[in-house]
Structure 1
């Protein structure tokens, strides 16, 4: 695909971009249509169908951030834009010095262009911020609003489409130990 882009650029004098588009809405819509048209097709999602965005790993593939980084590193370099690796942690990182060491390790050992550290958090109307995913407040039992990143931005999970909500339910967060305890991880080639 990149060689085709280069050919088009040479022929037209215009720049073209190979982008890893997020497709928040179409990943659900197209999976739903495909299931209706082709009942035996394989999609992600137990209750609601969805497709994994772009060339990302399936959301339940691994809880080891280094395994995921090693898999995605070369692949994400093929894009000329719109690509990002999200390190879904499930809860906030409280040890900033160790998290900084983790970030430095990623930047020195991997070449992917963009990555995020993405904790999930909840908001209780009475008690405010809660670290991690809590559908009810542990202190008062009231319903909370769970927030996480849907591709590039934070939104309340309840406002996502049904396919993205299913993806969130099936998402396997990375073990936060790498940020908490400063593991050095494995070195990428």
Structure 2
């Protein structure tokens, strides 16, 4: 029987057949098919197979695990084989995540040796950027190993194409209803600050800013409002603002909505659509001030 085994790191350690038995027993317990006695019998078969097929004096961990899979698949314990394969794959994914951190993830960001540090030009080189870069690796691993099929993962990893925004487990862009915000106000989340429907132009713009700030973290791309001028113009008349006053309020809005508050010290991704002329579906509808027509 083997006296040593080579780990994935290349380090040679003592060979312990009990580890094989324990892994099989754990899979057998999960499947409900076998006990430690059967696990011992299977371990003996695995060692005999390894000694016959492996030419190296010191086998590698992956080689032994491949034989474990094969012996289990050829046995009557099919559910145990499946449990073992799943367990092995899960640990492989955990190792890949751990390796990402152990192999100088922080250093890659600090020294800008990874091109992905500059993938998003909207993100500043900062502590927030570093935190986002590190946490992004977890999300990327989940996308590539749990959501996308193997052929897509392989193509991305090999550089055949690049999947952008793997760092966020969410949708891309989202369009929201400004009419609903003006009717309901900035509210809807229990335990968080809220406000009633706006009654004035500046407060309406402020609620739009707060809305964008709050929802920006729930999508990878832009948060969008349409009918911006159609729905907000009545506030200017209601407040009896001059051209200069309305312009000043909009300047404040543009500045506030571009303050870097998004994760990673980014400016929020926002999209505002202007109608220029009133759409037909709003033409005969009463204006909304303070949540009331």
TM-score range normalised by the length of the shorter chain: 0.3 to 0.5
The answer to which structure has the higher strand fraction is 1
TM superposition score normalised by structure 1: 0.35
Q: Which has the larger radius of gyration?
A: 2
